[in-house]
Structure 1
Amino acid sequence: MAGKIHEEQHLVTHYEGDQTGTMKVPMIINAMLLTSDNQSQQLGVGNAVVDKTGLGWVITQYVLKIKRLPRVGEQIVVGTRAVNNNDYFCQRDFWVKDQKGEVIVENTSIFVLMDRTTRRMHKLLPEIIEPYEADQVKRIVRLPKLETIEGASVAKDFSVEYFDIDPNRHVNNAKYFEWIFNTVDQDTLNNYYPAMINIRYHVEIQPNQVAHSTFTMDHDTLKSDHKIFANDTLCCEANVEWNHR
């Protein structure tokens, strides 16, 4: 039996929307993370408590399935629960429902605890994870591997600025979605939406580095391949499957 469920109402504001009037993917991620932060706070294991251990939560992979994007002005329900964990990895699921209760966005994520000083993964602490009442397992879910799509690539560089860094002292993971989608051409963004996003984080991008984002699209399959580098190191990669709006 998976852990405690936490849901919150959320009104999609105009600044969370794009030119098509639908909610931007980075804003969906931020709304999901806010919901999980609020749940942690209610359970007595919020950021202030985790900070005292010298550790911080880090996401290693997301797999999002999007039936449709929420619309600006729409009241949605954002939910989450910690599903299970082993000694080092946690599975946390997120979802977005419309007012009829239909799930329009699903997100499976993998979290780890990182030592803030060494920047290395740390074994999970029972006092931090037990309040979620997630299942204890030997192996957690294996999320899909990333595939490489052949073809001509487009690339853009993005400077890492002060406000891109979060309290864990690394680039906020939602920022990577901005770098991914800001590399995609406007015709694709105006006519298609991302129905599936599989994104994996490999190496933290540091302050004052330059994020080099590449985009390769297969127009026959409507699949794209995205990679983000810093100093020639692959830091993040993603696959996206696109549907007509």
Structure 2
Amino acid sequence: MKYQEDYQIQYADCDETGHVKLQALIDIFMHVSNRQLENSQAGSKEMAMKNQGWVVTQYHMEFKRLPVVAEHVQVVTNPVGYNRFFEYRDFALIADNEEIIKVQSQWVILDLEKRRIVPADSEMMARFGSPLLKKNPQMRRLKKQEYYQQTRQYRVRYDDLDLNHHMTNSHYFSWMEDMLERKFLNTHEPEMVDIKFDKEVLYGQEVTSSLIINEQTSYHLISQGDQVATIAEITWKKRNNE
């Protein structure tokens, strides 16, 4: 069952060029999907009362362009379906009747005490119109690169945490973009993003952000020692006005 809200891009959502930041874009999508879930007693607050939380494990994102400050858009989310452990949800951003961003995502339900995945609740899924799937959507497989050109250390701050008591997924984009040059970010925007969250990162933990760029694609790794926390690939394109 699709759900949609109107939204005006705020100054706080944008970088110094006036284009929406990836971190802010994810936060906008999360807000709208949670509004749909709240209407079915399955939002973050209701889940927390059961010591459970929605956790995204992967995104695939395609961009025609990024919206700009003060632009009016429609934010659409659609629960595509679920299986025993995964729920699949699509998002779209529409401006002037054109779909400018589309997103596929994969989710799990986490037991917040045991920090373990729990099976999907079929009654809850039915309340917001998510059907049981016979065939799962295919999500792209991402591989760790053999080496990376740059590394930088980060620490999970209190401000990074969400209701699941771990690093919120949108903040990973801030760490990854921070590895890129200012001039590059001001003259390029994403064309495609794939990101997979393999291991949660908790308050106070130190992680390493690694980067290698090959032509127009940046490859990112967030790791703790030898353990992969998050892996991502971003394909970039020059801005039309450059």
Aligned length: 239
Identity of aligned pairs, percent? Answer: 27
Q: 1:177 aligns with which of 138, 159, 173?
A: 173
Residues 1:63 and 2:60 are matched in the alignment: yes
Q: Deviations over 1:40-83 (max 9, x none)?
A: 11223222322232211110000010110000111111110100
- What letter is aligned with 1:55? Q
Runs of 4+ in 1 over 6 A off after TM superposition: none
Task: State whether residues 147 and 239 of structure 1, in contact with CA within 8 Å, keep that contact through their aligned partners in structure 2.
Answer: no
Q: Mean Cα displacement is larger for which, 40-49 or 10-19?
A: 40-49
Asked whether 1:227 is paired with 2:221, we answer yes
- Whether the aligned pair in 1 keeps the contact of 2:144 and 2:221 (CA below 8 Å) is no
Corresponding residue of 1:128:
124
- Name the SS of the counterpart of 1:10 in structure 2: strand
Deviation of 1:12 (Å): 0.8
Give me the whole-angstrom Cα distance separating, in 1, the residues matched to 2:58 and 2:147: 25
Structure 2: how far apart are the matches of 1:172 and 1:73?
26
* Equivalent of 2:163 in 148, 154, 167: 167
- Show the counterpart of 1:201: 197
Which residue is equivalent to 2:5?
8
**CA distance, structure 2, for counterparts of residue 228 and residue 155 of structure 1:** 10
Deviations 1:138-195 (A, max 9, x none): 3311211114556751222222111111111111000111111111112221221111
Written as runs of structure 1 = structure 2, the 5 A alignment for 1:106-125 is 106-125=102-121
Letter in 2 for 1:77: Q
Aligned pairs (5 A) from 1:17-32: 17-32=14-29
What residue in structure 2 maps to residue 244 of structure 1?
Answer: 238
1:13 aligned partner, one-letter code? Q
Tell me if structure 2 keeps the 8 A contact 1:89–1:110.
yes
Whole-angstrom CA distance in 1 between matches of 2:217 and 2:144: 10
1:156 and 2:152 aligned: yes
34-43 or 47-56, larger mean C-alpha shift: 47-56
Q: Distance in 1 between matches of 2:17 and 2:48?
A: 39
Aligned-residue CA RMSD in angstroms? 1.4
Instruction: Measure, in 2, the Cα distance between the counterparts of 1:48 and 1:134.
Output: 20
CA displacement at 1:91 relative to structure 2: 0.6
- Whole-angstrom distance in 2 between the partners of 1:192 and 1:52: 42
* Residue in structure 1 matched with residue 84 of structure 2 by the alignment: 87
Q: Aligned equivalents of 2:224 and 2:127: distance in 1?
A: 37
The DSSP-based 3-state class of the residue aligned with 1:79 is strand
CA distance in 1, matches of 2:48, 2:147: 44
SS of the aligned residue for 2:138 comes to: coil
CA distance in 2, matches of 1:150, 1:224: 14
- Matched residues in 2 for 1:52 and 1:148: separation? 37
- Report if aligned partners of 1:147, 1:225 keep a CA contact under 8 Å in 2: no
- Structure 1's unaligned 5+ residue stretches are none
Unmatched segments (≥5 aa) in structure 2? none
Q: Distance in 2 between matches of 1:167 and 1:50?
A: 10
Instruction: Please state how far the C-alpha of 1:28 moved relative to its aligned partner.
Output: 0.4
